[in-house]
Structure 1
Amino acid sequence: MKQAVRNWLIAAIAVYGLYTIISVAFFNHAKPAILGMPPMLFWFTVVPLVTPLILGGLYLLDKAVNPQWDEEGF
């Protein structure tokens, strides 16, 4: 159980970091445009597409680590 909680905390910190740390560190400028958008707008368009991939990977990892927690058991 401790490993599952640790994995979920890592995923939550990763998603939080995408919205806060990465955006400020790498996309907080006005030029050059990426796909016709300012970099910050581009990043906030991409992050909601990346977040489900992170959470899906976490789900698969959690399912592999805890095989007794399948969907039919709930």
Structure 2
Amino acid sequence: MNKILFFAHLRDAVGVEFLTLDAGGKTVAEFKDELVAKYDLPRMETVMTAINEEFAGNDEIIGEGDEIAFIPPVSGG
């Protein structure tokens, strides 16, 4: 199982700070697609992904027990 962390508008869309789901063996892109379908998450194409606190690309494979964080872009002045 994997701990999935959500930040900013994603947290609001899911309704919780984190979920525990099975993402092991999937690519980041595949897992994002599953989350969009299940939770109707907005703007996932602009969201950064971190696996075990290191940024990961869409082709990276998620391992069993990895912690995955989805971090939307931040704007400000």
Rg larger in structure: 1
Larger relative strand fraction:
2
TM-score by length of 2: 0.26
**TM-score, L = length of structure 1:** 0.27
Question: Larger % of helix: which?
Answer: 1
Structure with the bigger RCO (C-alpha within 8 Å, sep 6+) is: 2
